[in-house]
C-alpha cells in the first residue's frame, strides 16, 4: 500500500510538472489573441491630391496672354483741357436769344468737313474742327449774330471720337499690347484683369482726365490643352482645345468624338512642369473604370498645357508595320508583273504578224 501510494504521489507530481512546463512554454491558449491591438492606430493611406471629377479645384487668377481678346469699355473718358474739337466729335450747343420756333439746344455731330449743321434757319454750317470749346462758342456766336440781336452760346463736349476707339474688342498682339487708337497702346500680357485695367487707364491718362475703363476677357484663346492620338503607325493626330476650367478626361475624349478605331484604352495625362522646378507629371488613366464603372478616381481635371495621350492599339501598330514593310515589295512585284505582261503581249503581237 505504501508503494502504491508512493507511485500515485510521484505520478501526481509528474503531471503537475508537465502542466507547469506547458504553461511556461511559448504556446498560447486556443482563440487567444496572438498580436495585441496596437496602442496607436496605423495612419490612413495617403490620397492623391490631383483634382478630379467630384473633387475639382478652381484655376488660378487668369493671366492675359496673346492672342486673347479683351473687351474694353470706357466708363469715364474726358479729354484734358484744352480739348480741340475733332471730326466725328459730338458737341452740345445751347443758345439763348434764338428764334422761339427754332430753338438751338441739342447735340450736334461734327461732320467729315469739320462743321456742325445748325439748320437752314441759321444759315446752315459752322466750321469748328480744330477749335477749343471756348473758340467754338465765339465762332458760333459770331455766326448767329448776323441774324440775332442778342445771343448767348454755350458749347460742351458730349462725346469724343477717342472714346469710340477705346470702347470695343481688342486683340492682344504678339508683343503683348492692345491698340487704343490715337491714345497709343498698353502692354497687358502677363497681367490679371485688374492689372490690365490699371495699365490701360495709365496709358489713357496721358491725354484724358482721370480716365476709367472696364476690362474683361471676351475670348480665352491662350489657355489650352492638347489631345494626342496615336494613329496606329500612320502618324499622330493632335487637337488643340481651349480650356474653361471644368474639363475632365471624359470631357476631353467626348470633345474629339471618342476613342478612334486604331486606339487602345491606354490613356494618360502628361502634365508639364516649369523649367527648373521639377519633373513632368504622368497621370495614368483607367478608361474602363471611368466609362463602365463610373469611377472618378482617374477622371482627372485637366489643367492648361496638359497633354492627354491616347495610345494606339498594339495590333493596329503591328498591322501597319507589316503593311509598310511589304508595300515596297508589292510595288516592285507589281511593276515587274506589268512589265512582264507588256513584254508577252509585244512578243505575241510580233509572232502573229510574222506568220
| Span 105-122, pLDDT tens digits | 999 999 999 999 998 888
Residues 6+ apart with CB under 8 A from 82: 132, 133, 134
Number of C-alpha atoms within 13 angstroms, CB side, residue 296?
A: 8
pLDDT number for residue 46 = 44
Q: Report yes or no: 232 and 262 within 8 Å, Cβ to Cβ.
A: yes
Per-residue pLDDT of the chain (355 residues; tens, 9 = 90+): 444 455 555 556 655 655 555 555 444 443 445 555 455 555 544 456 789 999 999 988 999 999 999 999 988 888 888 888 989 899 999 999 888 888 899 999 999 999 999 988 888 899 999 999 999 999 999 999 888 888 899 999 888 887 778 889 999 999 999 999 888 999 999 999 999 999 999 999 998 889 999 999 999 999 999 999 887 667 788 999 999 889 999 999 998 888 877 678 889 999 987 666 666 789 999 999 999 888 899 999 999 999 999 988 776 555 556 666 667 767 777 777 777 887 777 777 766 666 5
pLDDT number for residue 336 = 75
pLDDT number for residue 334 = 73
CA angle 105, 110, 113 (to 5 degrees): 135
pLDDT number for residue 251 = 93
pLDDT number for residue 158 = 86
Q: Report yes or no: 167 and 181 within 8 Å, Cβ to Cβ.
A: no
pLDDT number for residue 338 = 78
For 79, list phi and psi in degrees, rounded to 5. Answer: -65, 150
pLDDT number for residue 10 = 59
pLDDT number for residue 324 = 61
pLDDT number for residue 301 = 94
pLDDT number for residue 124 = 82
Domains along the sequence of the chain with CATH: 69-77+163-219 (3.30.1950.10), 90-159 (3.30.1950), 224-312 (3.10.560.10)
Residue with cell 470695343: 168
pLDDT number for residue 44 = 46
Closest CA to 193 of 68, 93, 278, 315: 68
Q: Tell me the C-alpha distance between 130 and 142, whole Å.
A: 17
Residues 6+ apart with CB under 8 A from 86: 110, 129, 160, 161, 162
Amino acid at each position: 500500500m505504501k508503494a502504491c501510494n508512493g507511485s500515485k504521489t510521484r505520478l501526481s507530481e509528474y503531471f503537475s510538472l508537465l502542466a507547469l512546463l506547458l504553461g511556461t512554454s511559448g504556446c498560447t491558449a486556443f482563440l487567444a489573441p496572438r498580436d495585441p491591438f496596437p496602442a496607436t492606430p496605423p495612419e490612413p493611406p495617403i490620397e492623391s491630391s490631383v483634382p478630379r471629377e467630384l473633387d475639382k479645384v478652381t484655376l488660378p487668377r487668369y493671366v492675359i496672354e496673346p492672342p486673347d481678346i479683351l473687351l474694353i469699355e470706357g466708363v469715364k473718358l474726358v479729354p484734358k483741357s484744352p480739348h480741340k474739337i475733332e471730326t466725328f466729335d459730338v458737341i452740345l450747343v445751347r443758345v439763348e436769344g434764338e428764334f422761339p420756333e427754332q430753338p438751338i439746344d441739342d447735340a450736334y455731330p461734327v461732320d467729315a468737313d469739320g462743321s456742325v449743321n445748325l439748320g437752314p434757319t441759321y444759315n446752315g454750317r459752322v466750321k469748328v474742327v480744330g477749335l477749343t470749346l471756348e473758340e467754338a462758342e465765339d465762332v458760333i456766336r459770331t455766326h448767329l449774330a448776323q441774324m440775332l440781336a442778342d445771343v448767348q452760346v454755350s458749347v460742351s463736349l458730349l462725346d469724343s471720337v477717342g472714346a469710340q476707339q477705346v470702347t470695343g474688342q481688342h486683340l492682344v498682339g504678339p508683343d503683348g499690347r492692345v491698340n487704343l487708337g490715337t491714345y497709343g497702346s498698353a502692354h497687358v500680357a502677363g497681367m490679371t484683369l485688374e492689372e490690365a485695367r490699371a495699365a490701360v487707364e495709365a496709358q489713357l491718362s496721358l491725354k484724358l482726365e482721370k480716365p476709367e475703363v472696364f476690362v474683361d476677357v471676351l475670348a480665352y484663346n491662350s489657355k489650352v490643352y492638347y489631345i494626342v492620338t496615336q494613329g496606329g503607325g500612320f502618324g499622330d493626330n493632335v487637337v488643340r482645345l481651349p480650356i474653361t476650367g471644368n474639363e475632365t478626361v471624359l470631357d476631353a475624349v467626348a470633345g474629339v468624338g471618342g476613342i478612334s478605331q486604331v486606339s487602345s484604352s491606354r490613356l494618360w495625362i502628361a502634365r508639364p512642369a516649369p523649367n527648373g522646378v521639377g519633373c513632368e507629371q504622368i497621370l495614368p488613366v483607367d478608361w474602363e473604370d471611368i466609362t463602365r464603372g463610373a469611377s472618378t478616381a482617374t477622371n482627372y481635371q485637366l489643367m492648361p498645357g496638359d497633354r492627354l495621350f491616347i495610345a494606339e492599339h498594339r495590333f493596329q501598330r503591328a498591322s501597319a508595320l507589316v503593311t509598310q514593310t511589304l508595300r515596297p515589295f508589292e510595288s516592285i512585284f507589281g511593276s515587274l508583273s506589268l512589265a512582264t505582261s507588256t513584254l508577252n503581249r509585244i512578243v505575241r503581237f510580233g509572232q502573229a504578224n510574222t506568220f
